[in-house]
Structure 1
Amino acid sequence: MKKLTLFLGILLSFHFCYAQQFEFTPNYDESKVPQFKITNPLISFNGRKIKNTKRWEKVRRPELLNFFANNVYGKVPGELEISKWEVVEENANALNGKAHRKQVDIVFNKDGKTLFFNILMYLPNNKEKAPLFLGYNFYGNHAVCQDVKIRIPDTWARNNESYGISNNQFTEKSRGVRKDSWQVEKIIDSGYGLATIYYGEIDPDNNDFYNGIHPFFYVDGQQRPAANEWGAIAAWAWGLSRAMDYLEQDSDVDATKVIVFGHSRLGKTALWAGATDERFAGVISNNSGCGGAALSKRQYGETVGRINNAFPHWFARNFISYNKNEKALPIDQHGLLALIAPRPLYVASAEDDRWADPRGEFLAAYYATSVYELYGKKGIPSEEMPQVNQPLINTVAYHIRTGGHDVTAFDWEQYIKWADEQVVKNF
């Protein structure tokens, strides 16, 4: 009897997993994209037309921000200021004398709990105050550059044998493994600084809610965020804002020219950080896909149901109500992109990254353009996508390049050019 029960349990488990896999099988056929209506970002939920920036800022922007906060990413349930910060290492002759390297600990204390994250910074030595790219990394600060002085995080890490990560711990083997994706010297040579943080120091990327920033806000025995409270993406966005708190008082940084950058799930994070914190002068979304720049209602590549099933900790639990129900969304991701207006926005895709739906990312930028035009800013002029490797550089910029889900030297070349034209000179 026990053997039969065990067999039936295994069979049911297999059937459930197979059913879930079948249920969320990605669509890569444009002819199977469902018919859907694009919600006008300039018409409020009660049908009022938004005809000027004053009404956008007073009526439409707040209601869109509130919708995404309550139903997609989750609300931050309180405030917590930096308890202290400390420069734990610096060198004014890094990168063969080109840069000033700093490693800064940002510390938070509350009710006997302590959390800290470390900001790795490279600043060009030929500028008194540098504009800056700020972004999270996936594999530790030490992975972005072949620099033996960068500290190795001791926080939980997702195992990756090819990068020398085992037993959920970083090792010396992972030093510099992602340097090609960060192009530190290219950034420095272009007159920009770089600040990066290992995202797992704010909230480890696993579904437990016990060992990151979330418990600092729990009340009355709470063990996970409420249905409308922050998931991991909102927590990571919160961390970027706390990094901005520090950067505003760093005399080596031009805090009016900080551009928040992110790739993949961290591209989703950069968009939400840019929407919620208007201090960021520009926002870059690299291959951010579902829950990022891509239109959810297209149901192409990764879908709302698939992402909530695979990564239930990333979003607010309220977002589950749109699993296989994208048509019920009162606004799509173009509404998120519109929240960044009038600040410069760059959305980037890759030709082989169909999972992230490049066309859906492009269309979201196109449909957000009407809000930018209220401010006299130029966005995406038509629904026709640009050719591969032919960037469209305006206040709202877009490119699709050859290759797959990654950040490349080509991407950084475009981001720097766009930052020169749209953030540093014109904004």
Structure 2
Amino acid sequence: MQFNTLLCFSFFLATLPLLAQKRPLPDPLVFTNGKRVTTAKQWQSQRRPELLEFFANEMYGHSPDKPSAMRFEVFDTDANALGGKATRKQVAVYFDGKSNGPRMDVLLYIPNQVKGPVPAIVGLNFWGNQSINADPGIRISTSWMESGRGNPYVDVSCVVNHRSTEACRGINAQQWPVDSILNRGYALVTAYREDIASDEKSTMFTTGVHPLYPNLQNRGDNFGTVAAWAWGLSRIMDYVQTDNRIDAKRVAVFGWSRLGKAALWAGAIDERFAMVISHESGAGGAKLFHRGVGENIRRLCTVFPHWYAGNFRNYMDQDTLLPFDQHLVISLVAPRPIYVASAEEDKNSDPEGEFEGAKAASVVYQFLGTTGLPASQMPPLNQSVQGQIGYHIRPGGHDVTNYDWQHYLRFMDKHFKKK
């Protein structure tokens, strides 16, 4: 007995340094000055702006306002697309208003079977608009295209000299179940990430919108690429508000992986998005850094130095000691519904950390009078829990599957089709 007591005591002493390196999660309902938020009005008018400013300064960087000269050009409308199931629209968004300036092509599929304005899903894609469906009417992207990296989810052999070819049509259709989305009565609105900002180190900050804002670079709170993608999602929303076929008050912003990080930040800063779906967004998305599990801040800042603002590098190797964490970003979406999801084999994204991030944000939802996340423990595989916050974990790896979409569409039905 004495040996066991000494052994336990020795173990306790050995773990003290590790315990000392952990810092409690910051309470989203406590101001920086230590005072507690006591009313919903305080949250909306004081604490929420305080958090937005902090994350803009220290992590994502400051984003510009909507460009005053930006204009839209609908260059394609087909009321009989996909065998008559949808109306296809394609819109060129000229960020500075100039035809030879940076441009984002937005692809819309609007269900024909639904009368009146329809709710929509807005999300960026990884391999160009032509990749989400084999529809020959989709304009082929002319922006830089990822290739030659043995991507397990998409056959990118169609990419030649980092440009898409006709063979790229539909190469990523498995992650975008257009028919299921349309059959459910939702419009799909998407654009290619590279039209907005480069995800390639050799061209980072030199293409897309970044050259339009030189004053937001070369500073600690610079306009990072994740923030630029989020900004681009808001510019899509600017167009959506002009389209009478879409109900702009029922729009969900969706993203997977690094684009899931962007979708989360877009939903946090732009309250026009009525819902956020952040799929396997991991580090810098929904997962908690404090756990010290999975991808860390050092990797984000060195492997992907363009994603976040320069000030974020000050927190490298401090993951478990942060005075902030991602549950605060999730909280910024409250009380609007948000869905976070994980995959069992996606260890880099730390599924438990993603769940814990959603769970820790639940206190704000409850404070604002909604249900939050209806689970105190991580649910088993293939069991979706859905309150104002939704969550599931499924078998498999880092991907977007029909199972994921099944529950996202059910979540949208729950919140967008209330009687």
Q: Give the Cα–Cα distance (whole angstroms) in 2 for the partners of residues 199 and 380 of structure 1.
A: 30
Read off the aligned partner of 2:253 and give its amino acid letter: V
From 204, 209, 212, the equivalent of 2:205 is 209
Query: Counterpart of 1:318 in 2: which secondary structure?
Result: helix
Q: Which position in structure 1 is the counterpart of 2:13?
A: none
Please list the CA deviations of residues 224-271 of structure 1 after superposition, one character each: whole Å capped at 9, or x if unmatched: 442102110101111111110110010110000010000000000000
* Other-structure match for 1:197: 191
Residue 104 of structure 1: aligned partner: 91
Residue range with higher mean Cα deviation, 283-292 or 104-113:
104-113
Q: Do structure 1's residue 169 and structure 2's residue 163 form an aligned pair?
A: yes
Change (3 A) 1:78 1:255: closer
1:210 offset after TM fit, Å?
A: 1.1
Q: 1:51 aligns with which of 38, 44, 64?
A: 38
1:364 maps to: 357
After TM superposition, the runs of 4+ consecutive aligned structure 1 residues lying more than 4 A away are 110-113
SS state of the match for residue 377, structure 1? coil
Distance 2:174 2:356 in 1: 29
Matched with 1:20 is none
Q: 1:177 to 1:82 in 2, by over 3 A?
A: farther
Contact 1:181 1:407 in 2 (8 A): yes
Q: What amino acid is the match of 1:281?
A: A
Tell me the SS of whatever aligns to 2:62: coil
Match status 1:146 vs 2:134: yes
Distance 2:218 2:416 in 1: 36
Moved more, 209-218 or 158-167: 158-167
The 3 A distance-change label for structure 1 pair 281 and 329 is same
In 2, the alpha carbon distance for the partners of 1:117 and 1:180 equals: 23
Q: Quote the offset at 1:148 in angstroms.
A: 1.0
Q: What's the counterpart of residue 4 of structure 2?
A: none
TM-score (norm 1): 0.88
1:79 Cα deviation (Å)? 4.4
What code does the residue aligned with 2:32 have?
F
The one of 16, 25, 45 equivalent to 1:38 is 25
What is the distance in 2 between the residues matched to 1:335 and 1:42?
9
Distance of 1:79 and 1:87 partners within structure 2: 19
Aligned match of 1:68: 55
1:423–1:48 CA distance, 2 compared to 1 (3 A): farther
1:313: which partner in 2? 306
Judged with a 3 Å threshold, the aligned counterparts in structure 2 of structure 1 residues 225 and 277 are, in CA distance, closer, same or farther, namely farther
Within the alignment, does 1:397 sit opposite 2:385 as a pair? no
* C-alpha deviation, 1:218, in angstroms: 1.3
What SS does structure 2 have at the residue aligned with 1:105? strand
Greater mean alpha carbon deviation, residues 87-96 or residues 336-345:
87-96
Contact 1:363 1:383 in 2 (8 A): no
The answer on whether the counterparts of 1:257 and 1:424 sit within 8 Å (CA) in structure 2 is: no
In 2, distance between residues paired with 1:35 and 1:166?
A: 48
Q: Distance in 2 between matches of 1:134 and 1:76?
A: 20
Conservation of the 8 A alpha-carbon contact between 2:23 and 2:321? no
> 1:74 and 1:312 mapped to 2: Cα distance?
13
CA gap 1:174/1:225 in 2 versus in 1, 3 angstroms: farther
What are the superposed Cα offsets for residues 161-190 of structure 1, whole Å, 9 maximum, x if unpaired? 732223111112221011110100000000
Question: How far apart are residue 399 of structure 1 and its match?
Answer: 0.5
Contact 1:282 1:423 in 2 (8 A): no
**Residue 159 of structure 1: aligned partner:** 147
1:245 is aligned, of 238, 244, 252, to 238
For 1:423 and 1:274, locate their aligned partners in 2 and report how far apart those are by CA, in whole Å: 16
Distance 2:58 2:110 in 1: 38
Q: How many equivalent pairs are there? A: 392
Letter in 1 for 2:174: D
C-alpha change, 1:382 and 1:421, in structure 2 (3 Å) is closer
Which of 175, 180, 183 is the aligned partner of 2:174? Answer: 180
Contact 1:107 1:115 in 2 (8 A): yes
Q: CA RMSD in A?
A: 1.8
Paired residue type of 1:217: Y
Alignment partner of 2:248 out of 252, 255, 263 = 255
CA-to-aligned-CA distance 1:306-346 (integer Å, 9 cap, x gap): 11110000000000001101244222100000000010000
CA distance in 2, matches of 1:119, 1:299: 38
TM-score computed with the length of structure 2 as normaliser: 0.90
Q: Does 1:136 align with 2:124?
A: yes
Question: Do residues 91 (structure 1) and 78 (structure 2) align?
Answer: yes
Per-residue deviation, residues 20-60 of structure 1 (Å, max 9, x unmatched): xxxxxxxxxxxx99643111111111111112211111221
Q: Is the 8 Å Cα contact of residues 91 and 100 (structure 1) preserved in structure 2?
A: yes
Q: CA deviation at 1:81?
A: 3.3
After TM superposition, the structure 1 stretch with the greater mean CA deviation from structure 2, 162-171 or 345-354, is: 162-171
**Structure 1 stretches of 5 or more lacking a match?**
1-31
Q: Which amino acid aligns with 2:67?
A: L
Q: 1:322 aligns with which of 289, 303, 315?
A: 315
1:83 CA displacement: 2.7
Q: Which amino acid aligns with 2:145?
A: A
> Structure 2 vs 1, CA of residues 182 and 66 (structure 1 numbering), >3 Å: closer, same or farther?
same
Contact 1:113 1:216 in 2 (8 A): no
Q: SS where residue 331 of structure 1 aligns?
A: coil
Change over 3 Å in CA distance of 1:242–1:82 after alignment to 2: farther
What is the rounded CA distance, in whole Å, between the counterparts of 1:193 and 1:77 in structure 2? 28
